[in-house]
Chain A
């Protein structure tokens, strides 16, 4: 594979290929994963049972902030259980790196020693023959703590720093500045100012985290089955931390029960499990997180404050935005994304799809004694879009314009493309007005306006209409992924396509799937790329021993990047099939085409040869190989789009509010996105609907709350409310499909849906009641209080 590994050149931005009538792309083919998943035969890490397997339970800090004064494991050890503590792994730390000048690097221990920094931080691990006994063992470990003052809010000064390296708890600070903000405010007819706070919540996939680690001392090989979104990133750092050659570490992500960013982090529990396995040769160690652990210790997100000021001309033109954004990053800077993940995204994309010349935005990531914050679907944008849309609505009100007009006035237009945003990012979409207009039509905007008017002055619940427009940066290539200045660039993925001796195809892709149906999508791309049936393509993903390379699932990148690599590899294999067939048929390869696994000569009705016959020659009948053609039918290709690709989106909704209870009912919810070319329309819509549902959860229900001492008071699903089928409304999803400039014409679609609901619902409630929504979530009690 070395020869192909150097072939990292970006694919030419070819014209998007068109689906052949017989092809599978563009059709909602049956998902490859579904048969096993609907029959109860999925292979999740939590399902693994291996011979000699032992089970791990973690002892977690009951304090938000405390010094560890002593740890006594003797009773647990006397009971026959193996116990590990921070002292065992003091030499190993996770350290998320970034070369941004203001970034303060801090360490995250594998198991806490010296002190604990958030409630739920792992302090010790107990190994026993089943999970019940492991949990019993936790009670036998005695840890003494000396409580320290905890800081849970990122915008009050700390009483005791979380990390000694940052006395003010600020781990990162950056100012985005362009144009002349002060002068522009001087010219503004209207200046609006808001202090907005968004609610801490989390991805909360239905399968919690899980891992099985096994050290085989004779091969010196570590295998780690992990419900991760990023197996190659995990392998890379586990190998480094355990001082093993990377080839001796195998990370496998089998079926994973949802991720949403939470599982794109390498956690201390992961490292602990691998280190413990190393210390217990030939014993598979299994850890399955329970929900209480997950709520306490898996990454949180969206705990932000925006002090935002925006100036507008009298015709509604946005002249300047000034913002000060504080993000609560929790106790640790998560590996590998750093404490910069949310603040940098907030500052980079706050202005969204609006033209803006004058921008000053200071962002900071502040450590607190709360669970670490990490990437959660939409990273920061659900909050930043809420901030931006709030000031647009406020300005519209002051200027006597409609929310629609003020947006139309400022949205980036197709003729502005490529549009350099004030943060320097380049928007390649421009289809925002089209999305908004289509969304308003689908909503029945005029009818709702009329109904809203009719209800005014009656006893009927008032109606409100809310809007959000957003630009979602997806599929980030090496240039676009440079922002956080991590020591690597996540722009590329690899794919190997192999035609087997029987002519069927196996794809080894570096992508991972936590429900997005990547086995299906990769199969579609390769089937059409070669010209074989979708059913004849089998896809292997998630195993670092099988596929060459992939960064994994984050920033809506895999359809674009992993898909691009699959497309290129399929094209290379097709080329070889054609060259081989041309030699066998003694015709020019240019005169051949492949469809449904059959190779035909242009102008001749019957197929001349099947791929199976060509494959047989390639592997089994080398004596028939045309001159200069090597045996085998396989290709490995990388793809890197270099830049990113923006996906346009608009969401609008009409709601009604019960004035007596403060309850909000969503009457109609519409989303229109430019997902580029939809390779599998059902999966694309499923991503959008699922993302909006999470956004609605965050806007109205989900809230992780700490008390002042750092105790999480929403530690079960009884207190942390996830929306069910009774809360999530029907939705209308429509598309404006403008193919992107990449080989498949696709734009990422995984995250965009989460960006709208905060802004849409807050805007709609404000519109209905004439109140200001500055704090999320929007609950009946907050509305009721506002109304009093």
Chain B
């Protein structure tokens, strides 16, 4: 099936088999291997992407369901030569070890800070509990998100504004998104 959607602000048109998951379409057909698969059954959160600004588990969504939507993956976070404040904070606060959970963590954290720019540590822990990390013991991740929230509130939001804008935009030829809400978010 012919599917058109935007990924990280770029319009893509792919021929997608109906049973292929969005994660596989992104990874295999769009070459965006930053979206990882840790369980393929909707528990670990490694595959989290934004679909029309909402977090979705790309392993639980079919590629065809993304038709007409705009998707943001981890590859869309950084600017040309600067990291997103969350990425920078993950580096500085050792919020990653093997990095396998990191793309999903970053996307979930993005959404968290979008909805609550000033979360407490408890709120971060609760909201991020849909993403499993086996390496870090989470402390570095919580530190990083709290630190990024500070940075983003203090005004240095160039990159995150751009990302939010991408998350909202819809390919121009499509008027109304025609999917039902993404599952598993």
Which chain A residues numbered 701 to 724 have a C-beta less than 8 Å away from chain B? 716-718, 722, 724
With A49-B28, A728-B138 in contact, is A38–B132 under 8 Å at CB? no
Q: When the two chains form their complex, are residues A37 and B102 in contact, meaning their CB atoms are under 8 A apart? A: yes
A-chain residues with CB within 8 Å of residue B32 when the two chains form the complex: 40
What is the minimal beta-carbon distance from B135 to any residue of chain A, in angstroms?
5
Q: When the two chains form their complex, are residues B40 and A38 in contact, meaning their CB atoms are under 8 A apart? A: no
As a 0/1 sequence over residues 80 to 108 of chain B, the CB contacts with chain A under 8 angstroms (1 = contact) are: 00010001001110101111111100100
Which chain B residues numbered 48 to 85 have a C-beta less than 8 Å away from chain A? 73-75, 77-78, 83
CA distance A46 to B36 in the complex (A): 9
Q: When the two chains form their complex, are residues A39 and B100 in contact, meaning their CB atoms are under 8 A apart? A: no
> Which of A49, A255, A722 makes the CB contact (< 8 A) with B132?
A722
6 new A-B contacts, CB < 8 A, other than A206-B134, A258-B98, are A31-B94, A49-B31, A204-B134, A206-B36, A290-B39, A725-B125
Closest-by-CB residue of A relative to B97 is: A515
B-chain residues with CB within 8 Å of residue A607 when the two chains form the complex: none
9 A-B residue pairs with Cβ-Cβ distance under 8 Å, sorted by A, are A37-B96, A38-B83, A44-B36, A257-B38, A716-B41, A724-B130, A728-B137, A728-B138, A731-B139
> Which of A35, A257, A694 makes the CB contact (< 8 A) with B100?
A257
CA distance A53 to B122 in the complex (A): 46
> Which of B91, B97, B101, B137 makes the CB contact (< 8 A) with A731?
B137
> Which of A515, A686, A727 makes the CB contact (< 8 A) with B99?
A515
Closest-by-CB residue of B relative to A28 is: B94
> Which of B33, B40, B91, B131 makes the CB contact (< 8 A) with A34?
B91
Q: When the two chains form their complex, are residues B98 and A514 in contact, meaning their CB atoms are under 8 A apart? A: yes
Q: When the two chains form their complex, are residues B139 and A39 in contact, meaning their CB atoms are under 8 A apart? A: no
Interface centre among B73, B90, B132 (most CB of A within 10 A): B132
Which chain A residues numbered 247 to 263 have a C-beta less than 8 Å away from chain B? 255-258, 260
Q: When the two chains form their complex, are residues B90 and A38 in contact, meaning their CB atoms are under 8 A apart? A: yes
What is the minimal beta-carbon distance from A447 to any residue of chain B, in angstroms?
22
Q: When the two chains form their complex, are residues A722 and B134 in contact, meaning their CB atoms are under 8 A apart? A: yes
Closest-by-CB residue of B relative to A205 is: B134
Contact of A689 with B by CB under 8 A: yes
Number of residues of chain A lying within 8 A (CB) of chain B = 58
As a 0/1 sequence over residues 40 to 57 of chain A, the CB contacts with chain B under 8 angstroms (1 = contact) are: 111010110100000000
What is the minimal beta-carbon distance from A375 to any residue of chain B, in angstroms?
16
Contact of B152 with A by CB under 8 A: no
Residues in A lying within 8 Å of B, measured CB to CB: 28, 30-31, 33-35, 37-42, 44, 46-47, 49, 130, 132, 203-208, 255-258, 260, 288, 290-292, 514-517, 682-683, 685-686, 689-694, 716-718, 722, 724-728, 730-731
With A47-B33, A206-B46 in contact, is A258–B126 under 8 Å at CB? no
> Which of A41, A291, A730 makes the CB contact (< 8 A) with B34?
A41
Q: When the two chains form their complex, are residues A686 and B140 in contact, meaning their CB atoms are under 8 A apart? A: yes
Please give me the 8 A-B residue pairs with the lowest Cβ-Cβ distance, nearest first.
A40-B34, A257-B100, A515-B98, A37-B99, A515-B97, A693-B137, A689-B137, A40-B74
A-chain residues with CB within 8 Å of residue B131 when the two chains form the complex: 724-725
Closest-by-CB residue of B relative to A731 is: B139
Closest-by-CB residue of B relative to A728 is: B138
> Which of B43, B128, B139 makes the CB contact (< 8 A) with A689?
B139
What is the minimal beta-carbon distance from B149 to any residue of chain A, in angstroms?
15
What is the minimal beta-carbon distance from B99 to any residue of chain A, in angstroms?
3
B-chain residues with CB within 8 Å of residue A685 when the two chains form the complex: 94
Contact of B20 with A by CB under 8 A: yes
B-chain residues with CB within 8 Å of residue A132 when the two chains form the complex: 17, 19-20
A-chain residues with CB within 8 Å of residue B129 when the two chains form the complex: 724-727
With A516-B97, A682-B94 in contact, is A39–B74 under 8 Å at CB? yes
Q: When the two chains form their complex, are residues A40 and B75 in contact, meaning their CB atoms are under 8 A apart? A: yes
Q: When the two chains form their complex, are residues A726 and B97 in contact, meaning their CB atoms are under 8 A apart? A: no
Q: When the two chains form their complex, are residues A717 and B44 in contact, meaning their CB atoms are under 8 A apart? A: yes
Q: When the two chains form their complex, are residues A30 and B91 in contact, meaning their CB atoms are under 8 A apart? A: yes
Q: When the two chains form their complex, are residues B38 and A291 in contact, meaning their CB atoms are under 8 A apart? A: yes
> Which of A41, A47, A689, A727 makes the CB contact (< 8 A) with B136?
A689
Q: When the two chains form their complex, are residues A39 and B96 in contact, meaning their CB atoms are under 8 A apart? A: no
Interface centre among B20, B38, B97 (most CB of A within 10 A): B97
A-chain residues with CB within 8 Å of residue B121 when the two chains form the complex: 730
CA distance A339 to B36 in the complex (A): 33
B-chain residues with CB within 8 Å of residue A207 when the two chains form the complex: 36, 38, 98, 100
Which chain B residues numbered 12 to 40 have a C-beta less than 8 Å away from chain A? 17, 19-20, 27-28, 31-40
A-chain residues with CB within 8 Å of residue B74 when the two chains form the complex: 38-40
A-chain residues with CB within 8 Å of residue B135 when the two chains form the complex: 206, 258, 515, 686, 690
Q: When the two chains form their complex, are residues A291 and B98 in contact, meaning their CB atoms are under 8 A apart? A: no
Contact of B124 with A by CB under 8 A: yes
B-chain residues with CB within 8 Å of residue A38 when the two chains form the complex: 74, 78, 83, 87, 90-91, 96, 99, 102, 106
